[in-house]
Structure 1
Amino acid sequence: MINYPKSLDTIFHKLYTHNILPVIVGGYIRDALLGIPSNDIDIELYGVSSLDKVEEILQEFGKVNSVGKSFGVCKMYYKNLDLDFSLPREDNKIASGHQGFAIKIYKNLDFKTAALRRDFTINAIGYDVVGKKILDPYHGREDLDKKILRSVDKQKFKEDPLRVLRAVVFASRFRMKLDKILVLTCKEMIKEKLLEELPKERVFQELQKLLLKSDKPSLGFNLLKELGAFSFFRELAFLNGQEYKEIFNSLDMLKQLSITNDKEFVILALTVITSKFSTIQTQTFLQRVTNEKTLIKKVLQLHTIDFDLDDFNDYDIYKLAQKTDIAFYAHYLHVTQKKKKIQSIYSKKRKNSMYFINQFLLSSVEKI
């Protein structure tokens, strides 16, 4: 039994009166089984061949967004829930890249066949809301319990290079191990340079998920290294062992700080990751993974700040405040400098440095 928002039952009943069977699928079911709350719910609709009919039925419940109509998907925001309604389909690779697929929708496709297009077994679990039963043709629940990440189908998996990065994110986020076949598949895809086919915005989306959703992002980067993906994230390959250790220890430390703004966290995390790079390496790394010029500018700006923790005065603090938000910069210093050093600075505080003490030292020391 899967617990889902009961406010959806009104929609489900309406669909069923039109002989449409709703099945909750994908990430919501995975997260529900793991006890992780979510407001994003994907619902697959069986017994209907037209999204137009689905939209007609749904419009009494709210505005329907057909942005994904070419993929057999429509979206709706309903009572604080982000709903995706889709029709069972088969995806067939016809061109290179993440979007090079021909999509065919089938009214009477069975769940097992429809789930064959999913990436991992843990994402190929469904819940029949009418029959009140879990649909698990590829044993995803067992893999969740064993913390094993497996692809549903090796050949289908290889058709989408983004799935290599998704494997890394899920493995890091849920502390799972890739099974042997998936490891070999990912290595093959990387060796064939399939990651080069991905648009940088999709690479950045997965990189952000790794940084934001994993409690220990270093696990993901270690896996990228193991799979040979530093041939794509090539600047990381130039780090020596000590540099690599320092960077990813600092990255994991950053996750322990109370940073609630996701954008700020990503900027800080990317600054930590590139902290041992040259300016040119930092630029090439960032330009490979994102088009966000403001983000790149802020990371480079943090790198250029030269603040001597051993010898500073009030004017140095004033100049620092002109360049960046001091409390923001303090997080970066906290994970890249030794804690004892920051504590020793705290002991040097003076009455006329209260701005610095309140916004810089306290924001760091209280984390120690």
Structure 2
Amino acid sequence: GARAVLVGGAVRDAVMNLPVKDYDIEVYGIADFEALAHLLEPFGRVNTVGKSFGVLKLCIGGEVYDFALPRTERKTGTGHRGFEVTVDGSLDFATAARRRDFTVNALGFDIQSGEIIDPFGGMDDMGKKILRHIDDATFAEDPLRVYRAVQFAARFDMQVAGETAMLCRRMVAAGALDELPRERVYEEWKKLLLKAHRPSKGFDLMREWGITKKYFPELHALSCVPQNPKWHPEGDVWVHTMLSIDAMRKLIEDESVLDGERVSFPEKKQLKLMFAVLCHDLGKPLATTIEYDNGEVIRWEAYQPTIVSRETKTGMPYSVRALGHEEAGLEPTRNLMYRLTDEHDFIESILPLIAHHLKPSQFYKQGAKASALRRLAVKVNIEELVLVAKADFLGRTTPEAKTGRYAAGEWLLEKAKALKVWNKPMNHLVQGRDLIALGMKPSPKFGEILDDVYEKQLDGEIASKKDAIAYIREEFQHNN
């Protein structure tokens, strides 16, 4: 006598011909959780850990299915736990679905009849690629839904309905997002960066709705910052950054397919590369100068930009430079990232990619020597650096970028692979135990000796352990 309805993202993704990962089932016509648990027990292990939120989990082998009775929610406090959940097996589907965020997420699939239940026009919105909220009051009860709108619009390439965009703007302006813990915000950012083919669409919405200005000023500061049109005809730093993160997303997707087969590309590595590109020019608002032909130099004011025009009081043509923006961008990157997560090691792993993102092009132009490449490998993973630099290069509208080929990156990677330092620094040929084997007594001098030998390795003057031992005997034993 019960009615099982598949709900939420599973129905949306199936209709959109996307892979379905999580199955959520609402069961109508069941009196209480005990009756539902009794019904499910013959099929697998029933976990009641989510009972207070109205959910039971059915575990069958390695698969987990969420079963719930229809429910309503009422806001009683701040945060995602500040809701009073009322479970009622007699509710109709439309009443239970009204608590959901968007019409495309309020679809149901009646498992027995094969019917799609669509009380709010979600199928029509999906066909028109429109993201529309269901109810003003219930939507505003959970401010995380503003970020969900951002990442859904980008992931599914949807246009946000006018009334939904207006509500999101009002919520941001009213400070509704202040209550969100960074962990929940970070999860939505990760979905945007990892699942959207064009993450720029989500960041453009964040800028339009006031999110970047209010919560991520380091990112918002990129807007209107001018660039040299010779190298950046696409526009200001914001435009360039958006093109670059889309380029990185495509590079990652291309890298994830080898000879037609999908290969593993770790999520953490993807995130590191995406954040590195997102933050690679955060130093430009701090380092950019406008240099006029009459010798006048004006620094761009970080976070308080005024649009610079050739129609100035001097009437003089000008050039734009951003010398040192790589180093200048490290502190803004830390500030932005710590507002999202406290993963210190992860944040620190991003910084070298930002500090050295110009090196591939610079080294290629200079014809850098092997020693310079070996030293670069000590500071940063060259393989990852080339990907970041390539995304930076492709995030432009120059004729060279439009070819899709980044010659500097190809050159650097080829040279680094020949030197065996493309994804790790050169190994130390000798260690402390080797010095002890030579009869030397451990002392602070050990560090100086090992550093000296390693410097000679990087310069190519010592190429084998035998050479290293001979050098140590001559320099540090014979002379002493």
The TM-score range, normalised by the shorter chain, is: 0.7 to 0.9
Q: Distance in 1 between matches of 2:205 and 2:415?
A: 48
Answering whether residue 179 of structure 2 is matched by residue 194 of structure 1, we say no
Worse overlay, 254-263 or 198-207: 254-263
**What residue in structure 1 maps to residue 371 of structure 2?**
315
Worse overlay, 114-123 or 250-259: 250-259
Q: Distance in 1 between matches of 2:54 and 2:145?
A: 20
Q: Distance in 1 between matches of 2:36 and 2:130?
A: 36
Q: Distance in 2 between matches of 1:130 and 1:349?
A: 57
Residues 416 and 422, structure 2, Cα contact 8 Å, conserved in 1: no
Answering whether residue 264 of structure 2 is matched by residue 282 of structure 1, we say no
Give the partner amino acid of 2:331.
Answer: I
Shift of the alpha carbon at 1:336? 1.9
Structure 1 residues 113, 287: closer, same or farther in 2, change over 3 A?
same
**What residue in structure 1 maps to residue 106 of structure 2?**
124
**What residue in structure 2 maps to residue 249 of structure 1?**
243
Residues 39 and 82, structure 1, Cα contact 8 Å, conserved in 2: no
Residues 46 and 108, structure 1, Cα contact 8 Å, conserved in 2: yes
Counterpart selection for 1:294 from 345, 348, 371: 345
Counterpart selection for 2:115 from 126, 133, 139: 133
Give the partner amino acid of 1:302.
Answer: L
Answering whether residue 13 of structure 2 is matched by residue 67 of structure 1, we say no
Q: Deviations over 1:184-216 (max 9, x none)?
A: 100010001111111111101100111111100
Residues 245 and 274, structure 2, Cα contact 8 Å, conserved in 1: yes
Q: Distance in 2 between matches of 1:103 and 1:349?
A: 56
TM-score norm. by structure 1 comes to 0.85
**What residue in structure 1 maps to residue 322 of structure 2?**
none
**What residue in structure 2 maps to residue 52 of structure 1?**
34
Structure 1 residues 335, 73: closer, same or farther in 2, change over 3 A?
same
Answering whether residue 337 of structure 2 is matched by residue 343 of structure 1, we say no
TM-score norm. by structure 2 comes to 0.66
Shift of the alpha carbon at 1:33? 0.8
Q: Distance in 1 between matches of 2:209 and 2:98?
A: 24
Q: Distance in 1 between matches of 2:135 and 2:409?
A: 56
Worse overlay, 75-84 or 29-38: 75-84
Residues 377 and 423, structure 2, Cα contact 8 Å, conserved in 1: no
Residues 148 and 177, structure 1, Cα contact 8 Å, conserved in 2: yes
Structure 1 residues 349, 87: closer, same or farther in 2, change over 3 A?
closer
- Secondary structure in 2 aligned to 1:282? helix
Answering whether residue 291 of structure 2 is matched by residue 235 of structure 1, we say no
Residues 62 and 77, structure 1, Cα contact 8 Å, conserved in 2: yes
CA RMSD, 1 decimal: 2.5
**What residue in structure 2 maps to residue 16 of structure 1?**
none
Give the partner amino acid of 2:237.
Answer: E
Answering whether residue 254 of structure 2 is matched by residue 271 of structure 1, we say no
**What residue in structure 2 maps to residue 9 of structure 1?**
none
Q: Distance in 2 between matches of 1:141 and 1:342?
A: 43
Q: Deviations over 1:103-160 (max 9, x none)?
A: 1000201101000100000000101112221111111000000111111111110111
Map 1:210-229; keep pairs closer than 5 Å.
Answer: 210-229=192-211
Shift of the alpha carbon at 1:286? 0.7
**What residue in structure 1 maps to residue 383 of structure 2?**
327
- Secondary structure in 2 aligned to 1:75? strand
**What residue in structure 2 maps to residue 90 of structure 1?**
72
Structure 1 residues 344, 321: closer, same or farther in 2, change over 3 A?
closer
Q: Distance in 2 between matches of 1:190 and 1:349?
A: 44
Structure 1 residues 131, 207: closer, same or farther in 2, change over 3 A?
same
Shift of the alpha carbon at 1:30? 0.6
Q: Deviations over 1:296-332 (max 9, x none)?
A: 1211233334734233222222233333433222211
Larger Rg: 2
- Secondary structure in 2 aligned to 1:60? helix
Q: Distance in 2 between matches of 1:108 and 1:237?
A: 48
Q: Distance in 1 between matches of 2:160 and 2:383?
A: 39
**What residue in structure 2 maps to residue 207 of structure 1?**
189
Give the partner amino acid of 1:216.
Answer: R
Shift of the alpha carbon at 1:35? 0.8
Worse overlay, 66-75 or 170-179: 66-75
Worse overlay, 347-356 or 228-237: 347-356
Structure 1 residues 126, 251: closer, same or farther in 2, change over 3 A?
same
Worse overlay, 155-164 or 321-330: 321-330
Structure 1 residues 64, 186: closer, same or farther in 2, change over 3 A?
same
Identical amino acids, percent of aligned pairs: 36
**What residue in structure 2 maps to residue 163 of structure 1?**
145
- Secondary structure in 1 aligned to 2:42? coil
Residues 40 and 81, structure 1, Cα contact 8 Å, conserved in 2: no
Residues 64 and 76, structure 1, Cα contact 8 Å, conserved in 2: yes
Q: How many residue pairs were aligned?
A: 342
